[in-house]
Structure 1
């Protein structure tokens, strides 16, 4: 899947606006691949996989494209 970084927090997590859907998906800095959390900016295009967690769906294997 692809989307755009919508929100980044100082606590090391953020939200991705999903390209195919009208909603945002949570991601944690630990779920990044080949990019550091500090290097991400709001508006960056990313690819990711959707996974289920205890609190609902989240993005994993997040990579900047």
Structure 2
């Protein structure tokens, strides 16, 4: 079942870490603020196998289950 998307804003940031085995990681937004959760399904939907530490990406910030998460990832 797709997540409810209450609010969508485009952002850019740097991958803090991503663990493909665990299936998630975090992105540090360029504008500061809290790190953004990224799930393996968002990575796979972008046609990627994983994310590398310090990799720059653009992404949409969506609300999933009441928390901010990255979606629509694009490597920069």
TM range (shorter): 0.7 to 0.9
For 1:20-57, what per-residue CA distance to the aligned partner results, in whole angstroms no more than 9, with x for missing partners?
A: 123200011111213222xx210000000000111411
1:30 match: secondary structure: helix
Higher strand share: 1
Write out the 4+ residue segments of structure 1 that deviate beyond 2 Å after TM superposition.
Answer: none
Unaligned runs of 5+ in 1: none
CA distance in 1, matches of 2:75, 2:47: 8
Normalised to the residue count of structure 2, the TM-score between the two structures is 0.74
RMSD of aligned C-alpha atoms?
1.2
Unaligned runs of 5+ in 2: 1-10
2:13 match: 3
Normalised to the residue count of structure 1, the TM-score between the two structures is 0.85
Aligned residues: 63
Larger-Rg structure: 2
